[in-house]
A and B are shown apart, each in its own frame.
Chain A
Amino acid sequence: MIYSVSETWFIIALAALATGGWRLAGLLLADLISPESWVMQLVNAIAHAMVAAVLILIMVYPTGALATTTLESRLICLALGLGCMLITQNLWLSLIISLSSFAVFVSLI
């Protein structure tokens, strides 16, 4: 189906509402949940798990330019970076190691 200009604007407005609605719900719920409660701990934990899930899915099932690289190269370089982060706790060192090894991997293939 091809949408007209006004229909497209309408869909964009709906997409904005569908996102803004979640943010609004979050603000309203934030007032109800006490910071020290186990519910807040659970919400924080689920948020971390969801964000990690989104990003791993981008890594494992990418679209666009990233899809022209191999799965092994993406995951091995991620593992290198994570390993370095856990050992050294140094964000920049881990980023540089992971990214430069990815650059080498990608140019070899």
Chain B
Amino acid sequence: MSNSLSGHQIARQGAIDALALPALALGSTMLGFGAIAREAGFDFWMTTFTTLSVWGMPGQIAFVGLYATGSSMFLMVVAVALANMRMMLMVISGSDMLKLKKHNLTFFQRVFIMHFMAITNWAQLSYKQSTYQPKQLLTYYKGFSAVVFVCGMAGTMTGYFLDDLLPPHILRLVIYITPLYILLLLANAQQKINRLAGLFGAALSPFIYILAGDWSILIAGLIGGTAALFVQRAQKTLQKDNQ
């Protein structure tokens, strides 16, 4: 445990860890979003405000994709709600990892902190959980999130104006980084049950997708997470029986 570090140093470490790759990777993904949003017919402020207020990349892509094809308002809202349902679980799990209850924050401060909870930040928390004490982890999260958010916003705005900034054969390499980076973090999650859940979810979802489309994330998550819990329980029972 790193006790001797000051708040500034920890926040700076978070910012540096973000800049080292994840923030730049997310910025490039948002570059793609900005370009798609312009093609779909959004103006600059609509595009910027969507990233600012939704801050959940897969939902945003689904949203502008449907908007471009002229889908009904109902379908768009359902698609975004469905794609971002995981936010609820990530916020519960993130509050638990950050021990948010112990921090003496007002409700609005907590709402503000959780607005930035998205896949990249959450996976980083899961990865860094045991490196810092709860108080330090929140400081780390703030430094990390601020940089990721700024890069995401900058990427969105740049993507809107310069969708041909990067040639396609470079862009596809850059876009590969975000899913790769986060899957690697998940493979190294601190607890075995969570690694197992990630494995189950990843293995199931492409097949469920063929049958259930957008619902597959939810279904694969529920089955994968529940199965992982059962496996862990069964192993504990076995260990007890053997003793």
Contacts and interface: CB of A to CB of B under 8 A. Distances in A.
Task: Verify that A and B bind, or say they do not.
Answer: yes
Interface of A: 1-3, 5, 7-9, 11-16, 18-27, 29-31, 33, 35, 38, 40-66, 68-69, 74, 77-78, 81-82, 85-86, 89, 91, 94-95, 98-99, 102-103, 106-107
Contacts of B49: 12
Contact of B168 (A30, A68, A82): A68
Nearest 8 Cβ contacts at the A-B interface: A26-B91, A49-B201, A46-B225, A49-B224, A50-B221, A16-B53, A53-B205, A45-B225
Contacts of B46: 8-9, 12
B73 to A, nearest CB: 6
Contacts of B110: 27
Contacts of A7: 73
A77 B180 CA distance: 9
8 contacts: A8-B46, A44-B197, A49-B200, A49-B202, A53-B204, A55-B179, A95-B177, A98-B184
Interface residues of B, number: 100
B220 A53 contact: yes
Contacts of B44: none
Contact of B101 (A8, A31, A50, A62): A31
Contacts of A22: 81, 84-88, 91
Contacts of B198: 48-49, 51-52
Interface in B109-166: 110-111, 114-115, 117, 119, 122-123, 126
A11 B204 CA distance: 32
Contact of B181 (A30, A45, A46, A95): A95
A91 B89 contact: no
A82 to B, nearest CB: 5
A51 B226 contact: no
A86 B67 CA distance: 41
Contacts of B225: 42-50
B206 A57 contact: yes
B13 interface: no
Nearest to B65: A63
Contacts of A85: 184, 187-188
B110 to A, nearest CB: 6
B229 A45 contact: yes
B24 interface: no
A42 B195 CA distance: 13
A42 B101 contact: no
Nearest to A18: B81
A89 B184 CA distance: 10
Nearest to A13: B53
Q: Determine which residue in A3, A8, A54, A68 has the highest number of CB atoms from chain B within 10 A of its CB, and name it.
A: A54
Contacts of A61: 206, 209
